[in-house]
Structure 1
Amino acid sequence: MPIALLALAIASFGIGTSEFIIMGILPDVARDLSVSIPRAGLLVTAYALTVTLGGPFVAVAAGRLPRKTALILLMGVFTAGNVACALAGDYWMLLAGRILAALSHGSFFGIGVVVAASVVPRERRSMAIALMFSGLTFANVTGVPLGAMLGHWAGWRSTFWAIVPIGLISAAALVAFVPKTEKPAEGDGSLADFRILGRPQILLTVAISVAGSAALFAVLTYIAPLLTSTANLSQQVISVALLLFGVGNFVGMLAGGRLADWRQMPAILGLLGLLVVIYASFAFTSHATIPAVASMLLIGAVSFATSPGLQTRAIEFAPEAPGVSATLMQSGFNLGNALGAWIGGMALEAGLEYGQLPWLATALTVVALVIALASVALERRNPKPQFAA
């Protein structure tokens, strides 16, 4: 493994921890800043929307810089955002810190994906991207729970202070290990880079990501009440299930990278088809402890296994602006997160029971599979261009 991938993985670990840690310390934040839980929850929404809407524009703004320089500056923005969160004296300063940190998120992963693909042979690109994103999935297993424990013990600000040295270490690793190149992060570093949005294959690939993540979060957002209502699981068992979900993310990401390097679209189609079966089965397995916990492991693994192939596909269809394309994938994933939570909530308000949410996830995954089949059909008529990282 090129050591540059380790530097990118460390950075993705820090970013992943920062993104998701707020959920574990939300009650502490709300109580300390004297705001309601729903208002504190806007800290999650604001972060996701900033990644979705702001990421591509930040990627374009960084377009004239060499990729290594862009990554280091973005990690500096990320670190500054977490310092602002740690120093926040009121809700609005904390919100501003979260938005500042989020501005670096999508574009860092977008440019990082291109760098990861450039340091390995063509046939190992998806695995390299998976190794970079393994830091993000590993954050769900270790960084987030440990950060939440620290926040409960020493105050929620200590959690953000703990992320700051991760940002500094990541920046130092990027300086030391990412190859120096004068090649810019993007095409011409202007809004003209958004012309790739007129390319059907880019839109289809982003749409697969949106539908797939919406399916996941339609269930995951409400997983605690779902497992409580169907299998009467205790909070301790639900915590174990979520831990195994995180382990599945890590394993699935790496396995998905290897599969995508072998056969990209057959792997994506097969994984989406398998997800349809897993979600449909979860409507039944969620009613018993061991099958429910095992299903969480499978959902975590297979849902994240599609990511490396989709990321690789996005940059291959946008050789003149790969960083913007990869950043759009991050926007799509975060948009899907928000849509899945909203669709699941609307369905529950309309009378759907928690135990029926897996059927909703099944339907959304079928949508993702249909889009993927349309992408394959289009590629047969118009083969992908050659991407030279």
Structure 2
Amino acid sequence: MAERDDAGALKLWAPVIGLTLSAFIFNTSEFIPIGLLTDIAKDFQITESQAGTIITVYAWIVTVLSLPLMLLASRIEYKKLLLGILGLFVVSHFLSAIAPSFITLMLSRVGVAFSHSIFWSIASPLAVKIAPRGKGAAALSLVVTGTAVAMIAGLPLGRMIGLYMGWRATFFSIGLVALAVAIFLLFIFPRVPAGAQGSSIAKVPLILKNPGLIGVYVLTALMFTANFTGYSYIEPFMAQVAQMPESEITFTLTLFGVAGILASVLFSKAFATHPKFFFACGTFGLGICLALLEFSSGHIWSAMLLCVFWGMTFTIFGLVFQSVVIRLEPQATPIAMSIYSGIANVGIGGGALVGGWVCAMPAIEWVGYAGAAFAFLGGLICFGMLRFFLSK
């Protein structure tokens, strides 16, 4: 009897598990170039800063498409839409694996970015729709966990495949896993009617008149730019400046992701009672970590320890300000969060671009200082607007 109940529960949760696996592969794919920049640059005989443009272009395409695709996606039956974007994702990754030139690789990443934009426009509401009755919050949390696991396992695993089999094998492997997930979803995912979200576009002007939300969006652009000025080039930085062996770079990237889980636990336990501390950690704390990046590179263990704190502070920033968005705009949260996601990708692309300029002009050692400048500016703005962020 108990086994039958377990089987029934698993069947109910199978669509959510499939969506979580999709979240894992989409986020692994977004950040995998960070761990493979040096190999990609060598293969196409370009610099790391030139190779880093695939991160910038990807992020900015997601920025432009996130909001309009969220509105358009509401008109299409969700199962068809999900399988369609996974199909585009798979084909794009197979094209990445055989790309004869950097331009071809860039075009294949455009296809991935397009599918990414649609997926994250529908993932959150879809998780709630397909969840067992009364389990919407748990389903949403599970999908978010897929994102965290991508940072902890997906990026390091993809990098390991790249080290032993070449970067092309990493992209091929991601495409293969995505194909398996698509086949799984084909058989277990229910048909989900499209929702009527078109009228919600009228709420955008109201959102943009909220000073607290405008502050969040400005900070999001600054802090994501700060983080990805350094993080986009973490792999060549650790190899060239910190002189880390390949295996220890992979381990450091894993630590960065694990630190995010530690930060999530701290946030859930203490944010309600110590909000100002978390605002400071997410802004000034991130700035301090970036400013100390070159200094910490003198020893492998100090560099690893810094990456732990760096991963924690950036995760804290995301948790704090997403919670602020939800509190400040409870009625139109999907639209407000879609704008947040788009602006975050402006920062990801901008950070990769700034980091590339720094690597090309002064030196890769300076990426931490450049990122810290954005973070400290963000910290000053944050505490200047704290009354808006803490208002009920």
Q: TM-score, normalised by structure 1?
A: 0.75
**Inter-partner Cα distance in structure 2 for 1:304 and 1:228:** 24
Seen in structure 2, the aligned counterparts of structure 1 residues 340 and 159 have a Cα distance that, compared at 3 Å, is closer
CA gap of 1:68–1:248, structure 2 versus 1, over 3 A, is: farther
Whole-angstrom distance in 2 between the partners of 1:170 and 1:297: 31
Deviations 1:1-52 (A, max 9, x none): 99465433311210122223334455665676x6635655433332122112
2:3 is matched with none
> What is the match of residue 365 of structure 1?
375
Identity of aligned residues (%): 24
Does structure 1 residue 218 correspond to structure 2 residue 229?
A: yes
How many positions carry a matched residue from both structures?
377
Give the Å deviation of 1:269. Answer: 1.2
Q: Deviations over 1:321-375 (max 9, x none)?
A: 5434323323222222233344445567775882x65454444333333444455
Partner of 2:5: none
Which one-letter code corresponds to 1:12 in the other structure?
A: A
- Do 2:56 and 2:348's aligned partners in 1 also have CA atoms closer than 8 Å? no
Q: Which residue of 2 aligns with 1:166?
A: 177
Deviation string, structure 1 residues 262-306 (Cα, Å, up to 9, x no partner): 569557415325435544555654433322211111211231233
Distance in 2 between the 1:88 and 1:345 partners?
22
For residues 306-325 of structure 1, the aligned pairs below 5 Å read 306-319=317-330, 321-325=332-336
- In structure 2, distance between residues paired with 1:95 and 1:143: 21
CA distance in 1, matches of 2:198, 2:299: 53
CA drift of 1:199 comes to 3.8
Corresponding residue to 1:289 among 285, 300, 308? 300
Alignment correspondent of 1:386:
none
In structure 2, C-alpha distance between the alignment counterparts of 1:138 and 1:79, rounded to whole Å? 20
Structure-2 residue corresponding to 1:42: 53
AA matched with 1:160:
F
The answer as to 2:199 corresponding to 1:188 is yes
Where does residue 334 of structure 1 map in the other structure?
Answer: 345
Greater Cα shift, 151-160 or 298-307 = 151-160
Specify every segment of 5 or more residues in structure 2 that has no aligned partner in the other structure, as ranges: 1-8
CA–CA distance in 1 between the matches of 2:51 and 2:36?
10
Q: What SS does the corresponding residue of 1:188 show, helix, strand or coil? A: helix
Alignment of 1:36-75 (within 5 A): 36-37=46-47, 40-65=51-76, 70-75=81-86
Partner of 2:4: none
Are 2:122 and 1:111 aligned? yes
Uncovered stretches (5+) of structure 1, i.e. residues with no partner: 384-389
Q: Secondary structure at 2:199's aligned position in 1?
A: coil
Pairing partner for 1:202 from 213, 219, 226: 213
* Distance (Å, rounded) in 1 between the aligned partners of 2:350 and 2:124: 25
Q: Which residue is 2:151 aligned to?
A: 140
- For 2:96, the equivalent position in structure 1 comes to 85
- The letter of the residue matching 1:167 is A
1:53-89 residue CA offsets vs partner (Å, 9 max, x unmatched): 2222222221334666654544343334324434655
For 2:349, what is the secondary structure of its paired residue? helix
- Distance in 2 between the 1:348 and 1:94 partners? 22
Residues 106/263 of structure 1: CA separation in 2 closer, same or farther (3 Å cut): farther
Counterpart in the other structure of 2:20 = 9
In the alignment, the residues of structure 1 paired with residue 331 and residue 190 of structure 2 have an alpha-carbon distance, to the nearest angstrom, of 20
How far the C-alpha of 1:147 sits from its partner, in A, is 3.0
Structure 1 counterpart of 2:281: 271
Quote the residue 2:6 is aligned against.
none
- Separation of aligned partners in 1, 2:183 and 2:384: 43
2-structure distance, mates of 1:352, 1:28: 19
Q: How far apart, in 2, do the equivalents of 1:330 and 1:77 lie?
A: 21
Could you tell which deviates more after superposition, 199-208 or 315-324?
315-324
Quote the Cα distance in structure 2 between the aligned partners of 1:90 and 1:19.
20
1:242 equivalent to 2:253? Answer yes
RMSD (CA atoms): 4.3
Q: CA 1:173/1:303 → structure 2, altered by over 3 Å: closer, same or farther? A: farther
Give the Cα–Cα distance (whole angstroms) in 2 for the partners of residues 236 and 206 of structure 1: 37
Retained in 2: the 8 A contact 1:129–1:257? no
**2: distance between equivalents of 1:296 and 1:30?**
24
TM-score for both structures, normalised by structure 2: 0.74
Note if contact 1:256-1:309 (Cα within 8 Å) is conserved in structure 2: no
- In 2, Cα distance between the equivalents of 1:345 and 1:367? 21
Partners of 1:248 and 1:298 within 8 A in 2: yes
Distance 1:64 1:243, change over 3 A: same
Indicate if the aligned counterparts of 2:35 and 2:235 stay in contact, CA closer than 8 A.
no
- Superimposed CA distance per residue, residues 154-175 of structure 1 (whole angstroms, 9 cap, x where no aligned partner): 5554433322343244446667
**1: CA distance between counterparts of 2:287 and 2:50?**
35
Give the equivalent residue in structure 2 for 1:305.
316
Q: Could you list the per-position Cα deviations for residues 115-170 of structure 1 after superposition, in whole angstroms to 9, with x for gaps in the alignment?
A: 55776999x96x87564333233233433343344445555544333223432444
1:177-219 Cα shifts (integer Å, max 9, x gaps): 7787656273437x65643444433332222222222222233
The structure-2 alpha-carbon separation of the partners of 1:199 and 1:75, relative to structure 1 and needing over 3 Å to count, comes to farther
